[in-house]
Structure 1
Amino acid sequence: MELDTPVLDDHMHLDPDHGRGIDAVEDFAHLGGTHLLVVNKPSWHLGVEAGDPDAVDPAAAGEEFREVFERTIKVVEAASDVLDGRAWPVLGVHPGLISRLVDERGFSPEDARDVMQAGIEVAAEYVADGEALALKSGRPHYEVSEAVWDASNEVMRRAFECGAEIGCAVQLHAEASEDMSEVAEWAEEAGLPAERVVKHYASGRLAGPIPSVMSEKERLRVAAESGEPFLMETDFVDDPDRPGAVLGPKTVPRRVRWLLEEGYEDAVRRAHVETPQSVYGIDTEATLSE
């Protein structure tokens, strides 16, 4: 079956230095994939250890994230050359960094918060300049101390503030849940509409943010039958040390084909045309001609 529709993977990582890089994009495109949102890998996976626990001003560490963001933008440009549509960067700070800073490098939760907020603010500069599409933030999906949890929530709230200031969406990496209404309310309080907050690695049902659904059939069936906005993703990690981790780059186009065979044409349009437009302001149909 030919896919007469845009096909967007909402959350993929690419590592041209140590992973498959553009080869993964070619696999995605060969199966019918047309558009990608490429999220920067965790900073420490790219050799960037931002911040010094003894520094007078931890916020100055934000500048150290630029290497991560620049490398992501560069690989996105290469990915766009392969696709019938295009790719966009999503930039930010992985919420797991707080544990690395506190548990392994001796930061206080407050100083770790300042480093991460500074990184978010630098990422927002790229979005404001048109070099990236959206921000990434969140909070740990595993058990942490109350102080680390509070600091993580403050980082996420700062991302919402930045998203509101520059008018962009925020993708969240967070705990598994089908109800994140409180988080969506925090975004609204910051001036960011809840429909511009995306929960990455979501199940097919979610109250609050927009679910970016992991492309497993049962999750997708729930999302398709809900009638609600949703996106599709693989969270492809592009890590040679974890070759079977999460889902491969061919998965989203394969699942779109399955959804169409199952009669979910409206859901496919919702996930790959309507929701990308409402959340990110991108036109996946018009960009097919670029």
Structure 2
Amino acid sequence: MRPIFDNHMHLQPSGRGVGALLDFSKAGGTHAILCHMPYREVAISTGEDFSRSYDITLSLADRANAETGVKVFPAVGPYPVLLIGLTERFGMPRAVEVMREGMERAQKLVLERKAVAIGEIGRPHFPVPPEIWEASNGIMLYGMQLAKEAGCPVVLHTESGTPEVMLDLARIADRAGLDRGRAIKHYSPPLVLEEENHGLFPSVLASKPAVTEALSKGTRFVMETDFMDEPSRPGAVMDIKTVPKRTNAYLSSGQMSEDQAWAIHKENPERLYGITID
């Protein structure tokens, strides 16, 4: 079977959950990173709340692996925008403490081999006051340091990727001692060239223009949908079937070769996460 890997999707208890993966599988999808997100079922006020929230992601992954033909690998971490609400409720020092504990609990799950990455972490994707920005960068740096200790990658949620943003993130990874290639830029444009990504690894949103441009530059990228499993917005950000449908269409048309597909859907994720795509 040809592997087809979606590098970033979400499932929710209040959404279709594991059932959504049946569509992914029918379209030809075989493997995916299930990335943690805030869930309505768990309000975050303490570090312990993060553990309860992470347990939802791990449970969804376990069910997916038991009940579908898709192999799912979980990534867990404190979603960066949570810092804003925590700061409003508890003040900045306590908010930062809670977020750092969320990082530590995510690292613990990686060390226990229950998760393959710390993520998605980073900083808000919209303008925020300078103190939130600075604190977010500090929390992201801490997450990268923990990832370095654990020997795992980080999945980065930030503002829109540009070469300048990628360079800034790369320099933070350098400060953490984390290999730039283990910092995965989620929701990335097709910044495949070294001078565009500065060593970070792009996870390209699988639109036709983005995939076409990415392929014109090489194969050092993975594809994602950022499927949200949000009942009020079915198919957002992209439909869960997009990566397999896009890949198979490009293979059929000759826009993607078998060697390119093998690199993108097997070799790259295996190298990034230390997993086996079989």
- TM normalised by structure 2 equals 0.92
Indicate which of 58, 63, 73 corresponds to 1:88.
Answer: 73
Identity level (%):
37
CA distance in 2, matches of 1:188, 1:100: 29
Residues 163-190 of structure 1: CA distance to partner in whole angstroms, max 9, x if unpaired? Answer: 0001001000111022212212221331
* Residues 30-179 of structure 1 mapped to structure 2, 5 A cutoff: 30-42=26-38, 45-51=39-45, 61-102=46-87, 105-136=88-119, 137-179=121-163
**Aligned twin of 1:223:** 214
Indicate which of 232, 236, 259 corresponds to 1:241.
Answer: 232
Once the two structures are TM-superposed, the CA of residue 236 in structure 1 deviates from its matched residue by 0.7
CA distance in 1, matches of 2:86, 2:213: 38
8 Å contact from structure 2 (residues 21, 70) kept in 1: no
Residues 124-162 of structure 1: CA distance to partner in whole angstroms, max 9, x if unpaired? Answer: 100000111100111001000000000000110011001
CA distance in 2, matches of 1:112, 1:226: 41
Output the amino acid matched with 1:204: P
Residues 250-275 of structure 1: CA distance to partner in whole angstroms, max 9, x if unpaired? Answer: 11100111221342123322211121
Output the amino acid matched with 2:26: H
Give the length in aligned residue pairs.
268
Residues 3-52 of structure 1: CA distance to partner in whole angstroms, max 9, x if unpaired? Answer: x520111111111x31001110110011111001101121xx3332222x
Task: Look up the SS of the partner of 2:156 in the other structure.
Answer: strand
Runs of 5+ consecutive residues of structure 1 not aligned to the other structure: 52-60, 286-290
Residues 180-234 of structure 1: CA distance to partner in whole angstroms, max 9, x if unpaired? Answer: 1221222133121111110111111141311111110100111111114101111
Once the two structures are TM-superposed, the CA of residue 101 in structure 1 deviates from its matched residue by 1.9
CA distance in 2, matches of 1:275, 1:106: 41
Task: Look up the SS of the partner of 2:203 in the other structure.
Answer: strand
Indicate which of 211, 231, 247 corresponds to 2:202.
Answer: 211
8 Å contact from structure 2 (residues 107, 146) kept in 1: yes
CA distance in 1, matches of 2:93, 2:213: 40
**Aligned twin of 2:187:** 201
**Aligned twin of 1:18:** 14
Output the amino acid matched with 2:49: E
CA distance in 1, matches of 2:8, 2:136: 21
- TM normalised by structure 1 equals 0.88
Once the two structures are TM-superposed, the CA of residue 277 in structure 1 deviates from its matched residue by 1.7
Task: Look up the SS of the partner of 1:10 in the other structure.
Answer: strand
Deviation >4 Å, runs of 4+: none
CA distance in 1, matches of 2:263, 2:235: 29
8 Å contact from structure 2 (residues 61, 74) kept in 1: yes
1:269 aligns to 2:262 (yes or no): yes
Output the amino acid matched with 1:27: D
Indicate which of 170, 193, 201 corresponds to 1:184.
Answer: 170
8 Å contact from structure 2 (residues 141, 175) kept in 1: no
8 Å contact from structure 2 (residues 25, 70) kept in 1: no
